[in-house]
Amino acid sequence: IINGLAPSITKQAKNPEAAFQWVKFLTSDKCQSIVAEDAVVFPSLTEYSEKAAQAHEKAGRDVSAFTEITKDASNLAYYP
């Protein structure tokens, strides 16, 4: 799970290949750029974080409480 996003495929999927292609798209640069541009959620790819923050700011939302803390790696929790 990255940033609360966890695209996955159930073993009961009727079409696992189509499900895989969908998950592949959801995690792609193209989709994450769209997510950032539309300020849907924070993208799972960190290179789009600033783009998302700017989109939120343009919409009148201050998301600095979520973005500032990530600029210092000592604030991040890593799980084995």
Q: What is the tens place of the pLDDT at every residue in 21-51? A: 999 999 899 999 999 999 988 888 889 989 9
pLDDT digits (tens, 9 = 90+) for 7-27: 899 999 999 999 999 999 998
Residue 18 is predicted with a pLDDT of: 98
Residue 5, helix vs strand vs coil: strand
The whole-model pTM stands at: 0.72
Please tell me what DSSP assigns to residue 2: B
Contact between residue 52 and residue 35 where contact means Cβ atoms under 8 Å apart = yes
Q: Which of 1-10, 33-42, 71-80 has the highest mean pLDDT?
A: 33-42
Rounded-to-integer distance, Cα 25 and Cα 16, Å:
14
